[in-house]
Amino acid sequence: MKLTILGYWGGYPAPDSATSAYMLEKDDFTLLIDAGSGSLSKLQNTKHVMDLDAVILSHYHHDHVADIGVLQYAWLVQSYIRESNDILPIYGHTEDQEGFKSLTHKNTEGIAYNPAAVLEIGPFSITFLKTDHPVPCYGMRITDGETTLVYTADTAFKAEWYDFAKDADFLITDCNFYEDQDGSAAGHMTSKEGAMIADKANVGKLILSHLPQYRNNNDLVKEAEQYFHGSIELAAEGLVWQKS
Ligand code: ZN
Model confidence over 206-236: pLDDT tens digits? 999 999 999 999 999 999 999 999 999 999 9
First and final CA of the chain: distance in angstroms?
11
CA 99–ligand 1 middle distance (angstroms): 13
**Could you read off the pLDDT of 40-63 as tens digits, one per residue?**
999 999 999 999 999 999 999 999
CA 74–ligand 1 middle distance (angstroms): 25
CA 201–ligand 1 middle distance (angstroms): 23
φ/ψ of residue 10, rounded to 5? -90, 145
Give the domain CATH number at 109.
Answer: 3.60.15.10
CA 154–ligand 1 middle distance (angstroms): 5
- How many separate domains does the chain show? 1
CA 2–ligand 1 middle distance (angstroms): 25
Strand residues in 108-168 grouped as ranges (E): 108-112, 119-121, 124-130, 138-143, 148-151
Give me the helix-helix angle, 191-201 and 218-225, nearest 10°: 40
CA 105–ligand 1 middle distance (angstroms): 23
As beta bridge partners, residue 129 has 139
| Boundaries of domain holding 69 | 2-242
Question: Is the full-model pTM beyond 0.85?
Answer: yes
Question: Is residue 90 classed as helix, strand or coil in its secondary structure?
Answer: strand
Task: Please name which of 23, 10, 8 lies closest in space to residue 149, comparing C-alpha atoms.
Answer: 23
CA 136–ligand 1 middle distance (angstroms): 9
